[in-house]
Amino acid sequence: MAVKRKIINDPVYGFITINDPLIFDIISHPYYQRLRRIHQMALAFLVYPGAVHTRLHHSLGAYHLMCLAVTELKAKGTVITEEEEIAVKAGILLHDVGHGPFSHALENRLVTGIHHEQISLQIMQAMNEELKGRLNTAIAIFTDNYPKRFLHQLISGQLDVDRMDYLTRDSFFTGVSEGVIGYDRIIKMLVVHEGELMVEEKGIYSIEKFLVARRQMYWQVYLHKTVLSAEKMLVHILERVRVLSATGITDLKTGGATDFFLYNYSYNSQMDRDTLDKFCQLDDVDFSFAIKRWSHHPDRVLSQLCSRLLNRQLLKIKLQAEPFNESMVQEKLQQAATELGISQEEAAYFVFTGEANNTMYRVQDERINILFKDGSVKDISAIDNPLIHQTISAPIKKFYICSFR
The stretch near a copy of itself (CB under 8 A) out of 62-70, 93-101, 155-163, 170-178 is 170-178
Size of the site for a copy of itself (CB under 8 A): 75
Rounded distance, CA 215 to CA 152, Å?
24
Rounded distance, CA 228 to CA 24, Å?
37
Q: How far is CA 71 from the centre of its chain?
A: 26
Q: Does residue 248 sit in helix, strand or coil?
A: coil
CA distances from 272 to 118, 134, 243, 370 (A): 13, 22, 26, 43
Q: How far is CA 293 from the centre of its chain?
A: 27
Cα torsion 357, 360, 366, 369 to 10°: value is -150
List the one residue from 21, 33, 325, 344 that touches a copy of itself (CB under 8 A).
33
Beta carbon nearer to a copy of itself, 49 or 113:
49
Rounded distance, CA 295 to CA 302, Å?
7
Beta carbons within 8 Å of 94's beta carbon, 6+ residues apart: 26, 32, 59, 120, 123, 124, 127, 135, 138, 142
For a copy of itself, the binding residues in 190-229 under the rule CB under 8 A are: 205-206, 208-209, 212, 215-216, 219-220
For a copy of itself, the binding residues in 253-282 under the rule CB under 8 A are: 254-256, 281
Interaction pattern, residues 312-341, with a copy of itself; x per rule: CB under 8 A:
xx-------x--------------------
Interaction pattern, residues 296-315, with a copy of itself; x per rule: CB under 8 A:
--------------xxxx--
Rounded distance, CA 405 to CA 391, Å?
35
The stretch near a copy of itself (CB under 8 A) out of 33-41, 84-92, 142-150, 361-369 is 33-41
Rounded distance, CA 349 to CA 339, Å?
14
Beta carbon nearer to a copy of itself, 53 or 232:
53
Note whether 9 binds a copy of itself by CB under 8 A.
yes
List the one residue from 12, 94, 252, 305 that touches a copy of itself (CB under 8 A).
12
CB of 303 to a copy of itself, least distance (A): 14
Phi, then psi, of 285 in degrees rounded to 5: -60, -45
Beta carbons within 8 Å of 400's beta carbon, 6+ residues apart: 225, 228, 317, 318, 319, 320, 353, 354, 355, 356
Q: Are strands 397-403 and 190-193 parallel, antiparallel or unpaired?
A: unpaired
For a copy of itself, the binding residues in 84-143 under the rule CB under 8 A are: none
Beta carbon nearer to a copy of itself, 50 or 113:
50
Beta carbon nearer to a copy of itself, 120 or 391:
391
Note whether 3 binds a copy of itself by CB under 8 A.
yes
Beta carbon nearer to a copy of itself, 232 or 308:
308
Interaction pattern, residues 382-401, with a copy of itself; x per rule: CB under 8 A:
--x-xx--xx--x-------
Interaction pattern, residues 37-76, with a copy of itself; x per rule: CB under 8 A:
x-------xx-xxx-xxx-xx--x--------------xx
Rounded distance, CA 107 to CA 87, Å?
27
Beta carbons within 8 Å of 292's beta carbon, 6+ residues apart: 306, 310
CB of 254 to a copy of itself, least distance (A): 8
List the one residue from 36, 74, 273, 300 that touches a copy of itself (CB under 8 A).
36
Note whether 176 binds a copy of itself by CB under 8 A.
yes
